[in-house]
Amino acid sequence: MEINVCSIMLADEFTGDLMIKGAIGLDEDIVRRTRLRIGDNIAGWVALEGRPLLIEDIENDPRFVRKNLSQYNTRSLLSLPLKVNGKVFGVMNLNNKRDSKPFTVTDLYIARAISERLSYLIKKLYSQEYDGKDIKNYMKTFEGLVSAVKYYHKKDGVIHDLVNKIMDYLGVDEETKNLALYTSMLYDIGLMLTSDVVLKGKALSPAEIKALRVHPYITIALLNSFEFSEEVKKSIVHHHERYDGTGYPEGLKGDEIPLISRVLSVVDSFNAMTSDRPYRDKLSPDKAIEELKRHSGTLYDPKIVNALAMVVET
């Protein structure tokens, strides 16, 4: 999910009005002049209700029928509450997807996870649990994360869509699905700092293999203080484990491997097989699934491979 416009609105301490405190892609005059009362407009509604809002077409949504604003090239948007201890203190607004398509439920899950982490950070800042050094370290971490996401792209959102469908097929709870989608956006950004020679070469030397195998830890280092979920961190670290215990970094096997890691392993392999590489042509989806089934029970969790086959075929 790549966006061109993002704004963070926080409630004024005295009036409760929402004001833009940070924005990407908005004119400075709009940032300075915008002020909303709780309940007014879209962001005010989200702050009042305390629930996220996905709008596919603002001009045809019965709750907010109105003309799209000129600064937005799409009529779709996401608006999510920022909460501390269950109380809304602000709103995060996302507009203008870079591909010009409407926001999806998958985007909503990812955005919700991001808003939770933003709320966590702001809570720390307001509670003065972070001193000046902590804030500087966070900003350094955040800048590294933004840079990594900027230069690291997955093929046409395939990863997110497949993770979403597999989680639905498996019938997991909403929180697990939410974390899986969020993790699917971040799990391999450590590859950005890995040499292109390592990523594109056919045969790797022992030193290159060792360098490649540390990238999950590089991802965790990039996240640093931004990520508070141990489940997300473990899912990232273990997404190269193999079902039979021959993977890395700890040789976990079977259900010892976190569920999200097992799903990412299958989806990532499927995406790699069906994408062109400098050293080979891509496989058709059917051929890729055949290959995954051939290694089902050794490299991959049979349950996840079956789930992938079902959601790709339907």
Question: For residue 210, what is the domain's CATH number?
Answer: 1.10.3210.10
pLDDT tens profile 103-124: 888 888 888 888 888 787 777 7
pLDDT for 280 equals: 72
- Percent of the residues in the chain that have a pLDDT greater than 70, as a whole number: 73
One domain for residues 205 and 290:
yes
CATH of the domain at 67: 3.30.450.40
pLDDT tens profile 208-246: 666 667 777 777 777 766 677 889 999 999 999 999 999
Is 140 part of a structural domain of the chain? Answer: no
Domain boundary among 95, 129, 163: 129
Higher pLDDT, residue 254 or 30: 254
Is 144 part of a structural domain of the chain? Answer: no
Higher pLDDT, residue 31 or 129: 31
Is 136 part of a structural domain of the chain? Answer: no
One domain for residues 164 and 283:
yes
Does residue 201 surpass a pLDDT of 60? no
Torsion of CA 240, 268, 140, 77, to 10 degrees: -150
Spatial CA neighbour of 120 closest among 227, 24, 230: 227
Q: Give the global pTM.
A: 0.71
Spatial CA neighbour of 242 closest among 292, 307, 173, 169: 292
Q: How far apart are CA 64 and CA 61, in angstroms?
A: 6
One domain for residues 109 and 190:
no
- Domain hosting residue 92, numbered range: 3-129
Is 238 part of a structural domain of the chain? Answer: yes
Count of domains observed in the chain: 2
Spatial CA neighbour of 108 closest among 192, 189, 51, 68: 51
